[in-house]
């Protein structure tokens, strides 16, 4: 039975990323406020936010300082744009700070409002710059199966998940998908992680050869796949992939939308995962998601190509009304200052051993086939048979059940296929982290009991 607010919600709000058939019967969890790593629903029940919202609310809720800086900027100059020879201090200062932090030698920052826009911008820059450089055939972009890069037309095409393509008439032309670096699922029997990484690099090499290297422009990858199920590639995967890309003059775009700003214990996941990107997409923790802001960090040679092209054809025809929105830029700049002032990276590095110990311990749970993660992000994958790694019938909705039990226990986590993802705010304390895993364990026990009673194995 839905409450009045739930009924109004499902009657009026078209929910993103939801099952639109079942949601009207189940109703939404309607949140009212947040404090630290907890959010409260309209009945006042607290939930530990085990997903930092959507992998993004790094500093938790209730940061008055961010409220103040937004209010101050709104009083001073609530809107100004960066088009046609205009600029403003918050965007300039933020771009300078990002250049300083960038995991690759950076020339400039192009601001957007979402991760999807950042990755769409990456696609358009690849096309535009390769035209400008006189190699119009070099346009294809390779992403990976289970990679997640957003939902706009180009970024959804890069995303390697069926639900983002089926019936949306995607992917667009020129996008290819390479193998997913998930050893547990796609490694051959008796293939070590190292051998698996070597094979994937060889497959990518063959794929680029088959396409024609003169037609392949870029490879886009999240250092650790997030929305595809928190997939951590083997340690030598990126160096091996990078060698293939260099051989064929294919650039590497790092999608750091989740991994940027501390998630893996370093400013960027690229350095943590031994990637050397040519360009980087950022969003989410850039502002701790207090306001929407995203960006693309570009190197000198792209910047130079863009300027040269403007010499020839005039205006660079790309930009959003809210590119570098002053309120968002001011909040993002303050967020980065807080990360530094409070040594959030140091805090994360202090927590990682506990997080990984408690996560990996869940691998021993009867319902869990693999407990995987790196830094402060992880997932547990439910299996029907641990020995054979056989999954449950997807219709049984086992991960969704784990998430529902967790919610009853006062913990928010996220189901992705048969996996349950965990990505807490970076500022979570050691005691809160223990509470998170205690509640998740209870949810797993309850789901295991339920799966047994339903004869799902």
Report the residue number whose CB is nearest to ligand PMP: 115
Residues 45-74 that bind ligand PMP (CB under 6 A): 54-55
Task: Name the minimum Å distance from CB 331 to ligand PMP.
Answer: 16
The CA distances from residue 410 to 29, 50, 300, 302, 388, in Å, are: 12, 10, 48, 47, 33
How many distinct helices (H) and strands (E) make up the chain? Answer: 16, 15
Contact assessment for residue 219 and residue 141, using Cβ atoms and an 8 Å cutoff: yes
Q: Write b or e for each residue in 137-166: b if 16 or more Cβ atoms lie within 10 A of its Cβ, otherwise e.
A: ebbbbbbbbbbbbbbbebbbbbbbbeebbe
Residues 6+ apart with CB under 8 A from 335: 58, 59, 66, 285, 286, 287, 288, 290
412 vs 444 by CB, closer to ligand PMP: 412
Place of tokens 């680029």: 208
Task: Name the minimum Å distance from CB 194 to ligand PMP.
Answer: 26
Contact assessment for residue 283 and residue 291, using Cβ atoms and an 8 Å cutoff: no
Whole-number Å distance between alpha carbons of 134 and 138: 9
Contact assessment for residue 326 and residue 91, using Cβ atoms and an 8 Å cutoff: yes
Binding mask 364-403 for ligand PMP (x = CB under 6 A): ----------------------------------------
Contact assessment for residue 285 and residue 262, using Cβ atoms and an 8 Å cutoff: yes
Binding mask 237-256 for ligand PMP (x = CB under 6 A): ------------------x-
Number of residues near ligand PMP (by CB under 6 A): 16
120 in contact with ligand PMP (CB under 6 A): no
Residues 99-118 that bind ligand PMP (CB under 6 A): 114-116
54 vs 80 by CB, closer to ligand PMP: 54
226 in contact with ligand PMP (CB under 6 A): yes
Residue positions counted in the chain:
457
Indicate the Cα dihedral angle 241, 127, 104, 83, nearest 10°: -160
Binding mask 259-298 for ligand PMP (x = CB under 6 A): ------------------------x---------------
Whole-number Å distance between alpha carbons of 39 and 20: 24
Which of 251, 257, 333, 336: binder of ligand PMP (CB under 6 A)? 257
200 vs 257 by CB, closer to ligand PMP: 257
222 in contact with ligand PMP (CB under 6 A): yes
For ligand PMP, which stretch binds (CB under 6 A), given 76-84, 221-229, 230-238, 434-442?
A: 221-229
Task: Name the minimum Å distance from CB 158 to ligand PMP.
Answer: 9
144 vs 365 by CB, closer to ligand PMP: 144
Residues 6+ apart with CB under 8 A from 144: 160, 177, 178, 179, 180, 181, 221, 225
Residues 6+ apart with CB under 8 A from 397: 415
Binding mask 129-158 for ligand PMP (x = CB under 6 A): -------------------xxx--------
**Structure tokens that stand for 368 in this block:** 């869990």
Task: Name the minimum Å distance from CB 209 to ligand PMP.
Answer: 28
95 vs 257 by CB, closer to ligand PMP: 257
Task: Name the minimum Å distance from CB 416 to ligand PMP.
Answer: 11
437 in contact with ligand PMP (CB under 6 A): no
| Interface contacts to ligand PMP, rule CB under 6 A | 54-55, 114-116, 119, 148-150, 222, 226-227, 255, 257-258, 283
């Amino acid at each position: 039975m839905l409450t009045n607010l739930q009924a109004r919600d499902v009657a009026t709000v078209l929910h993103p990323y939801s099952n639109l058939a079942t949601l009207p019967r189940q109703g939404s969890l309607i949140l009212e406020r947040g404090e630290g790593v907890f959010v409260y629903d309209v009945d006042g029940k607290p939930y530990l936010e085990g997903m930092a919202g959507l992998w993004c609310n790094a500093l938790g809720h209730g940061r008055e300082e961010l409220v103040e800086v937004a209010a101050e900027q709104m009083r001073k100059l609530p809107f100004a744009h960066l088009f046609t020879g205009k600029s403003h201090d918050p965007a300039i200062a933020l771009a300078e700070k990002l250049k300083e932090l960038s995991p690759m030698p950076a020339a400039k920052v192009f601001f957007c409002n979402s991760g999807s826009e950042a990755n769409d911008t990456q696609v358009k820059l690849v096309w535009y710059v390769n035209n400008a450089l006189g190699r119009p055939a070099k346009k294809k972009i390779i992403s990976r199966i289970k990679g997640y890069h957003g939902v706009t037309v180009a970024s959804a095409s890069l995303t390697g998940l069926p639900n983002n393509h089926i019936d949306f008439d995607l992917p667009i032309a020129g996008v290819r998908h390479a193998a997913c670096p998930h050893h547990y699922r796609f490694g051959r029997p008796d293939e070590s992680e190292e051998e698996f990484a070597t094979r994937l690099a060889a497959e990518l090499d063959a794929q680029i050869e088959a396409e024609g290297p003169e037609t392949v422009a870029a490879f886009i990858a999240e250092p650790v796949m997030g929305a595809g199920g928190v997939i951590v590639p083997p340690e030598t995967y990126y160096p091996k992939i990078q060698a293939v890309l260099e051989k064929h003059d294919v650039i590497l775009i790092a999608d750091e939308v989740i991994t940027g700003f501390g998630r893996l214990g370093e400013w960027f996941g690229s350095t943590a995962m031994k990637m050397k990107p040519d360009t980087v997409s950022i969003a989410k923790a850039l502002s701790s998601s207090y306001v929407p802001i995203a960006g693309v960090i570009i190197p000198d040679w792209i910047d130079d190509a863009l300027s040269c092209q403007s010499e020839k054809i005039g205006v660079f025809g790309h930009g959003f009304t809210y590119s570098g929105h002053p309120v968002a830029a001011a909040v993002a700049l303050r967020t980065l200052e807080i990360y530094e002032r409070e040594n959030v990276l140091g805090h994360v590095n202090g927590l990682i051993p506990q997080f990984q110990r408690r996560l990996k311990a869940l691998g021993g749970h009867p319902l869990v086939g693999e407990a995987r993660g790196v830094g402060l992000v992880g997932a547990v994958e439910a299996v029907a048979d641990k020995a054979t790694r056989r999954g449950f019938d997807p219709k049984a909705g086992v991960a969704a059940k784990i998430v529902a039990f967790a919610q009853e226990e006062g913990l928010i986590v996220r189901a992705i296929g048969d996996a349950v993802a965990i990505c807490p705010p970076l500022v979570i304390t050691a005691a809160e982290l223990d509470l998170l895993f205690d509640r998740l364990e209870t949810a797993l026990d309850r789901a295991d009991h339920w799966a047994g009673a339903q004869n799902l194995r």
